[in-house]
Amino acid sequence: MRQCQSQVAIFSILAALILASLFIATSLAVAAPPVPRDMPLLSITRAGSDISHQLTLADLEALPQRTVTGLIPDVGDTLAQWTGASLAELLDTRDEPLPGRLTASALDHYYEILPGDDLTRFDPIVAYLRNGDYLSINERGPLVIMYDHTQLPRGQERPYYNRTVWQLTGIHLE
Ligand SMILES: Nc1nc2c(c(=O)[nH]1)N[C@H]1C(S)=C(S)[C@@H](COP(=O)(O)O)O[C@H]1N2
Ligand SMILES: [Mo]
């Protein structure tokens, strides 16, 4: 009888341990980024300069976080909270002055020109989280330029939609 009770106790402890490790594994899986944190994801270049900055997810996450309300336009996306680094702040930490314009380019060879003024007017971010989740390449990640859609001029959103560059890989400053 005594032995039976201790077996029950051992099984309960084992079951608890297995459940606990499953729980930890699941939460780690959710929090894990889709790419290694030390992999260069974004290159920043400036016209007439040899200097280029290679930024990893760890670099972006080391900057102060900014969260905006937005979506990827025209793809059936719903408004979400996008978190990332302010583009203006990012350039500032790399000692890059505000450019007249920047060309943002993507993995699929899409590119769009952003007026430098946008950075002070709207403070768009290089987002790496959507509602707290990292984005895989299939989900148009891992990096997306995101504007705060609640701040866009009514009826004139289209240019900002075009500037919502997903799968962002490069920023060229001029
Ligand atoms: N990388 C990338 N970003 C992009 C685009 C694109 O084709 N590739 N299209 C832009 C445009 S015009 C719009 S409306 C939205 C949605 O683009 P999509 O319909 O081509 O997916 O993302 C913008 N950002
Ligand atoms: Mo578009």
More confident residue, 49 or 11: 49
From atom 8 of ligand 1, which residue's Cα is the shortest distance away?
Answer: 110
Q: Measured in angstroms, how far is the CA atom of residue 166 from the centroid of ligand 1?
A: 7
Cα distances from 41 to residues 21, 59, 71, in angstroms, run 32, 10, 21
Assess whether the C-beta atom of 74 lies below 6 angstroms from ligand 1: yes
Q: What confidence score (pLDDT) does residue 114 get?
A: 98
Q: What confidence score (pLDDT) does residue 13 get?
A: 46
- Would you tell me how many other CB atoms lie within 10 Å of the CB of residue 58? 13
| Rg of the chain in Å (alpha carbons) | 22
Q: What confidence score (pLDDT) does residue 109 get?
A: 98
Residue with tokens 């939460």: 27
Whether the pLDDT of residue 18 is over 50: the answer is no
Percentage of the chain beyond pLDDT 70 is 83
User: Is the distance from CB of 63 to CB of 89 less than 8 angstroms?
Assistant: yes
Give the number of the atom of ligand 1 that is nearest the alpha carbon of residue 168. Answer: 1
3-state secondary structure the chain: CHHHHHHHHHHHHHHHHHHHHHHHHHHHHHHCCCCCCCCEEEEEEECCCCCEEEEEHHHHHHCCEEEEEECCCCCCCCCEEEEEEEHHHHHHHCCCCCCCEEEEEECCCCEEEEECHHHHHCCCEEEEEECCEECCHHHCCCCEEECCCCCCCCCCCHHHHHCCCCCEEEEEEC
Percentage of the chain beyond pLDDT 90 is 82
**Per mean pLDDT, which range of 18-27, 57-66, 151-160 is the poorest?**
18-27
Encode pLDDT of 94-121 as tens digits: 999 999 999 999 999 999 999 999 999 9
Q: What confidence score (pLDDT) does residue 12 get?
A: 67
Q: Measured in angstroms, how far is the CA atom of residue 58 from the centroid of ligand 2?
A: 30
Encode pLDDT of 45-79 as tens digits: 999 999 999 999 999 999 999 999 999 999 999 99
Nearest in space to 80 (alpha carbons), one of 90, 88, 67, 70: 70
Phi and psi angles of residue 122, each rounded to the nearest 5 degrees, phi first: -120, -15
Whether the pLDDT of residue 6 is over 90: the answer is no
Whether the pLDDT of residue 170 is over 60: the answer is yes
Whether the pLDDT of residue 88 is over 90: the answer is yes
Instruction: Over range 83-104, report the average pLDDT.
Output: 98
Whether the pLDDT of residue 9 is over 90: the answer is no
Pocket probe for ligand 1: among 71, 137, 158, 166, the residue whose CB has the most ligand atoms within 8 Å is 166
Q: Measured in angstroms, how far is the CA atom of residue 144 from the centroid of ligand 1?
A: 11
* Ligand index nearest the alpha carbon of residue 146: 1
Cα distances from 169 to residues 18, 23, 126, in angstroms, run 41, 34, 10
Q: Rounded mean pLDDT of the chain?
A: 91
Q: What confidence score (pLDDT) does residue 14 get?
A: 45
